[in-house]
Amino acid sequence: MTYDLRDDYLAEGYGEEETAEFDHPVTIAAIEVALRDLGYRTDRIGHVRALAARLSAGDRWDLIFNIAEGLRGFGREAQVPALLDAYDIPYTFSDPLVLSLTLHKGMTKRVIRDLGIPTPAFAVVESPEEIASVDLPFPLFAKPVAEGTGKGVTEASKVSNREELERLCLMLLEAFRQPVLIETYLPGRELTVGIIGTGRNAVAPAVLEVHLTDKAEKGVYSYINKEEWHGRIEYRLATDTTAQVAKVTALAVWRGLGCRDAGRVDLRADAEGIPHFLEVNPLAGLRPEHSDLPILCELAGMPYRELIAGIMDSALKRILVKS
């Protein structure tokens, strides 16, 4: 098992938001229990440096259950898979190409647009000088181009005029040291679709709709709303026509990008109720009762152990085909 443990990085002096995407010990323990219940023997490895040390020492494994997010760069999620590819060791979830592409939301949207899948009009700002050239109608929504868990997303992310846009972009460029993604703001429902499987075998077990309560940060599925979701967020299964369209769109995204085994596709509806692609998470969080994917699976009647079994079954099918 490869992973980035949040406590390790907090002990090194990193902040709460910096480490938001890293895993809690509860997650690692839950995955390990599920794997052992399914009959697998487990070995906790840890982050990419620990993996490199173990490989250099001669250790090898039949399969790596990889949820390592990495720390730096647009290729951070691809580091463990790339290293495992070099040693011809199979692993769960997507390959380095997919993980590098999908971490950069702007690059991903360019591919999605080329695939003909609906996604909000957008621009990517890499420097303060580029802010003035953004030519999209207000209101707009801006966020860091390569962060997850709602990092950098607050009520201020929705902007109504050029002054607000400039102020927000300057703050995000300074705080996150990466480009800013600016999109046309969509006023409709917030949906996330769970995916299990690969290619033609991929299925969408459920669609989760995100409802903000009166205690939530207003109008946005933000970092604070995600981190402290109890009381702020109500998660509900969606099964209506819009949800079915969201499933079809999400599967087209998943297959078009080449994502594997399990993950999430986030969408938001426009004023006409049509779901548009926002982003894909091919390394979705797996913390029970906290992360979106386990929550939606539980609501759909799929226990945590069954989710982990589905991930392993998908990975093993790929490995058998390859061999």
Please check the confidence at residue 259 and state whether its pLDDT lies above 80. yes
Integer-rounded Cα radius of gyration of the chain: 19
Domain stops at, among 138, 163, 184: 184
pLDDT digits (tens, 9 = 90+) for 262-291: 999 999 999 999 999 999 999 999 999 889
Number of domains in the chain: 3
Distance CA(154)–CA(134), nearest Å, equals 21
Q: Is 115 inside any structural domain?
A: no
* Same-domain status, 231 and 283: yes
Q: What is the rounded average pLDDT of the residues 10-36? A: 91
Same domain, 239 and 297: yes
Regarding whether 198 and 308 lie in a shared domain, the answer is: yes
Tokens of 232: 């702020």
CATH number of 160's domain: 3.30.1490.20
Q: Tell me the pTM.
A: 0.93
Q: Which two tokens stand for residue 166?
A: 């400039």
The answer on 90 and 20 residing in a single domain is: yes
Asked if residue 255 is part of any domain, the answer here is yes
**The predicted structure's pLDDT at residue 321:** 81
Q: What is the pLDDT of residue 212?
A: 82
Residue percentage of the chain with pLDDT more than 90: 82
State the residue range of the domain holding 131.
Answer: 121-184
Does 222 lie in the same domain as 159? no
Single out the residue of 67, 62, 36 nearest to residue 262, CA to CA: 67
In 3D space, the residue among 306, 297, 226, 290 whose CA is nearest the CA of residue 26 turns out to be 290
pLDDT recorded at residue 18: 78
Percent of the chain's residues with pLDDT above 70: 97
DSSP helix/strand/coil, 235: strand
| CB contact at 8 A, 53 and 83 | no
The secondary structure element, H or E, covering residue 49 is helix 48-56
Cα gap 80→67, rounded to integer Å: 9
Residues contacting residue 56 through CB under 8 Å, at least 6 positions apart: none
Residue 273 maps to a domain: yes
For 136-182, write each residue's pLDDT tens digit.
Answer: 999 999 999 999 878 889 889 999 999 999 999 999 999 999 999 99
Lookup: tokens for 73? 């760069």
d(CA 6, CA 20): 7
Q: Are residues 193 and 134 in the same domain?
A: no
In whole angstroms, what is the distance from residue 90 CA to residue 78 CA?
Answer: 14
> Tokens 């259950």 identify what position?
65
Query: What confidence score (pLDDT) does residue 322 get?
Result: 73
Tell me whether residue 108 is in a domain: no
Would residue 113 count as lying in a domain? no
Q: What is the pLDDT of residues 287-321, one digit of tens each?
A: 998 899 999 999 999 999 999 999 999 999 999 88
Residues 297 and 240 in one domain: yes
Cα three-residue angle 142-147-150, rounded to 5 degrees: 70
Whether residue 222 is predicted with pLDDT greater than 70 in this model: the reply is: no
Confidence at 15, pLDDT banded by 50, 70, 90: confident
Contact, 238 vs 205, CB < 8 A? no
CA 303 – CA 294 distance, rounded (Å): 8
Give the count of alpha carbons within 13 A of 44, CB side only. 11
pLDDT 10s digits, 230-255: 788 889 999 999 999 999 999 999 99
* 86-112 b/e (C-beta count within 10 Å ≥ 16 → b): eeebbbbbbbbebbbbbbbbbbbbeeb
